Amino acid sequence: MSLRRSLWGALGMFLTCASALVADSPTLHTVAWGETLYSIARAYGVTPQAIADANHIPVNSWVYAGTRLIIPTSANNVATLTTPGGYYTVRAGDTLFSIAARFGTTVDALAAANNLPANGLLYVGWSLKIPARANSTATSSNHLTHIVQPGESLLRIALRYNTTAYAIAYANNLPNEWMIYAGQRLVIPGTSGTASTASPPTFTLRLTNIPLYRQQQTLTCEEASAAMATRGAITEAQLVAVMPRSENPFEGIRGRTNAPYYGGLTDYGVYAQGLQKGLCALGVTSQVLYGSSFDEFKEAVLENLRAGRAVIWWHTWRDSYQKPVVVKLSDGASVKLVPYEHTSVIVGANERGVTYHDPYDATVRFVAWQDFRRVSAYFDNMALVVW
C-alpha cells in the first residue's frame, strides 16, 4: 500500500511538473563560463528559484559550463528578451534554429531579417532583429517610406534622400548600419516627399571581361575569386586541388573547404599569402598587398584597376561589422582571424566607393569608401592583385 501510494504520488508530481513546463513553453540554455543561476535568471527575466525548480536542483547550487538548463519562460517572458525595437542579444548556446523556435518564426525569416546565411554561425553578444509577425507601419506626414531594393546599402539610400546612414539607422532602430535586406521598409527622416538625385561621379574605373562565378563549396570564396580574377584562365576546382593546407591561413587553407556552416574560425579559409602559393603552382603571377596604411592601400587598388588588373579583396561577408579574434597556433605563434572572413573581386571604383563581384551568390555589389576602409582594417588592408 505504501509503495502504491508513493508511485501515485511520484506520478502526480511528474504530471504537475510536466503541465507547468508545457504551459510555460520552456526553452533550453547552455551555460557559458562565468555564468551563475542568478545571472541566467536575470537574462531571461525569471527567478533563480524558477530555474532551480524546473531543473530539480538547489537554488544555491553551482552550474557548470556546458550544462543545459530548462528555462521556464512564458510568452510574456519571451517578449522581454527583446528590445522595444524587436532585437535579441545572442547568448551562449543560441543557434538560428533555437532563436527562431523561441520567437515563433523560421530560420529563413530570421536569417533574411539579419542579412545572414541560413547556415551561418552566431556569436555571443550579437544583436539580431526578430521579424515581426504582422506589419504595422505608421509614419508622420513629413517622413517617406523607402522599400529596400536588392543590392542597396544604407549609405546609397541616404545619398538618394540627402540624409545620413546614421540618421536612417536611428529612425528605424537598426543596431548596425549594414543590417538591411531587400523588401524592408525604412522610414526616411526629415524628407518632404521627393527624393533627390545624387550628382554623377567625377571618375569611374571599370574592368571588362571579368566573369561572375558562384563558389562551389561553402568556404572556397578565395579560390572562386581567383578564378574570376584570372578571367577564367583557371577554375576553382583546379586551385583547390593544389592549395596547401595549414592551421595558419597565411600558409594555406585553414580547415575544411566544404564545412556545413559559414562564418566560423576552425573551418576558415586562406589569406592572400597562402592563396598566392596555389596560384604560383598553376603558373599565375600575383602580388600581395598587406600591412600598408589605408591611403596607400586605396591608391594601390586604384592604380591596379587603371592598369586593367583585377584585385582579390579580403573583407567580411556582406561587409558586416565583426570583431577580430587572436588565436594561438600549435607552434606557439598567434594569428588574427575574423568571423565571416570573405573575399571578392574588385572590378571597379569611383569617388563614392568600390564595385565588386561576390562569389557567395554571384552578384555585383557596391561598398562605400568609408565601409571599405572599416572592413579592410579587419585584415590589415589585405588584397591579392592578379596579372
Q: What is the DSSP string of 252-300?
A: SBBS-SS-SSBS-SSS-B--HHHHHHHHHHTT--EEEE-S--HHHHHHH
Among the residue ranges 90-99, 298-307, 339-348, the one predicted with the least confidence is: 90-99
Confidence of residue 58 (pLDDT cuts 50, 70, 90): confident
Tally of structural domains, the chain: 3
158 inside domain: yes
pLDDT number for residue 26:
57
333: left (phi over 0), alpha (psi -120 to 50) or beta: beta
Number of alpha carbons in the 13 Å side-chain half-sphere of residue 241: 6
- Same domain, yes or no: 219 and 347: yes
Q: What is the DSSP string of 297-342?
A: HHHHHHHHHHTT-EEEEEEEGGG-----EEEE-TTS-EEEE-TTEE
pLDDT number for residue 213:
96
d(CA 313, CA 272): 9
- Same domain, yes or no: 33 and 87: yes
Core vs surface per residue 314-326: b (16+ CB within 10 A) or e: bbbbbbbbbeeee
* Phi, psi torsion values for 123, nearest 5 degrees: -125, 140
- Same domain, yes or no: 362 and 311: yes
- Same domain, yes or no: 168 and 259: no
- Same domain, yes or no: 224 and 348: yes
Helix spans in the chain (H): 2-23, 37-44, 48-55, 75-80, 96-102, 107-113, 154-160, 165-171, 221-229, 236-242, 272-281, 294-306, 369-378
Among the residue ranges 158-172, 239-253, 320-334, 340-354, the one predicted with the least confidence is: 158-172
Asked if 131 contacts 113 with a C-beta cutoff of 8 angstroms, the reply is yes
193 inside domain: no
pLDDT number for residue 166:
65
6 inside domain: yes
What range defines the domain where residue 256 resides? 204-386
pLDDT number for residue 73:
64
Q: How many residues does the chain have?
A: 387
d(CA 65, CA 281): 46
Of 254 and 122, the structure prediction assigns the larger pLDDT to 254
- Same domain, yes or no: 374 and 273: yes
271 inside domain: yes
- Same domain, yes or no: 221 and 354: yes
Radius of gyration of the chain (CA): 25
Q: With 70 as the cut, is the pLDDT of residue 184 above it?
A: yes
Query: What is the domain-level CATH number for residue 373?
Result: 3.90.70.10
269 inside domain: yes
Contacting residues for 353 by C-beta, under 8 A, at least 6 apart: 155, 366, 367, 368, 369, 371, 372
196 inside domain: no
Of 154 and 93, the structure prediction assigns the larger pLDDT to 154
Evaluated on CA atoms 365, 304, 302, 316, the torsion sign reads positive
Interval 231-273: pLDDT, tens? 999 999 999 999 999 999 999 999 999 998 889 999 999 999 9
Residue 211 identity: P
d(CA 151, CA 268): 25
Listed residues 96, 129, 162: the one ending a domain: 129
- Same domain, yes or no: 235 and 356: yes
Evaluated on CA atoms 114, 118, 123, 124, the torsion sign reads positive
319 inside domain: yes
Helices H / strands E in the chain, number of each: 13, 15
Of 273 and 116, the structure prediction assigns the larger pLDDT to 273
Query: What is the domain-level CATH number for residue 88?
Result: 3.10.350.10
Among the residue ranges 54-63, 133-142, 218-227, 325-334, the one predicted with the least confidence is: 133-142
199 inside domain: no
Name the residue with cell 566560423.
264
- Same domain, yes or no: 238 and 378: yes
Interval 313-333: pLDDT, tens? 999 998 988 889 999 999 999
- Same domain, yes or no: 120 and 181: no
- Same domain, yes or no: 291 and 316: yes
Interval 88-102: pLDDT, tens? 888 877 778 778 877
What mean pLDDT comes out for the span 281-292?
A: 97
Listed residues 94, 129, 164: the one ending a domain: 129
Q: With 70 as the cut, is the pLDDT of residue 139 above it?
A: no
The CA–CA distances, whole Å, from 276 to 207, 266, 311 equal 21, 21, 13
- Same domain, yes or no: 236 and 351: yes
Of 102 and 193, the structure prediction assigns the larger pLDDT to 102
